[in-house]
């Protein structure tokens, strides 16, 4: 049974932006929706919808720090439809809004006090 859940997880990880309904997930592994949900939660510790939302939030966080896409475009790319719900859920998970997350990531990646090559010692190379 764990193999069936693993297959659905691989599908989710492969493209979290796809439309996944409980019925479609269960059907893809030939289980009834209630039993699939029970099995998924037993194996992963969370229901399928919560697992998928977590994957989508991780993907959104990655897009925020690696692209200059708008929040609206990121919401669309990760498979969500409501920007206000996304912002609320993102803040609940990460403690900051998506824009604050992006700004913090860019600020923390800026070099500070970088020594010039002439000031480095030989064993730093």
What is the domain extent for residue 19? 2-109
Of the candidates 57, 42, 45, the one whose C-alpha atom is nearest the C-alpha of residue 12 is 57
Query: pTM for this structure?
Result: 0.78
Report residue 58 as tokens.
Answer: 């991780």
Question: For the domain that residue 11 is a member of, what is the CATH number?
Answer: 1.10.10.60
Residue 98 lies in a domain: yes
Of the candidates 6, 56, 81, 77, the one whose C-alpha atom is nearest the C-alpha of residue 36 is 6
Cα separation, 41 vs 48, whole angstroms: 7
Residue 124 lies in a domain: no
Of the candidates 104, 103, 102, 105, the one whose C-alpha atom is nearest the C-alpha of residue 74 is 102
Domain count, the chain: 1
Residue 121 lies in a domain: no
Tell me if 13 sits within 8 A of 7, measured CB to CB.
no
Per-residue pLDDT of the chain (125 residues; tens, 9 = 90+): 789 999 999 999 998 888 899 999 999 999 999 999 999 999 999 999 999 999 999 999 999 999 999 999 999 999 998 999 999 999 999 999 999 999 887 676 554 444 433 433 344 43
């Amino acid at each position: 049974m764990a193999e069936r859940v693993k297959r659905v997880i691989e599908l989710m990880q492969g493209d979290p932006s796809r439309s996944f309904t409980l019925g479609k997930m269960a059907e893809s592994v030939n289980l009834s929706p209630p039993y699939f949900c029970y099995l998924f939660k037993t194996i992963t510790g969370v229901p399928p919808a919560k697992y998928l939302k977590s994957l989508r939030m991780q993907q959104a966080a990655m897009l925020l720090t690696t692209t200059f896409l708008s929040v609206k475009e990121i919401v669309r790319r990760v498979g969500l439809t409501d920007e206000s719900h996304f912002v609320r859920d993102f803040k609940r998970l990460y403690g900051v809004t998506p824009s604050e997350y992006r700004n913090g990531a860019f600020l923390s990646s800026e070099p500070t006090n970088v020594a010039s090559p002439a000031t480095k010692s030989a064993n730093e190379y």
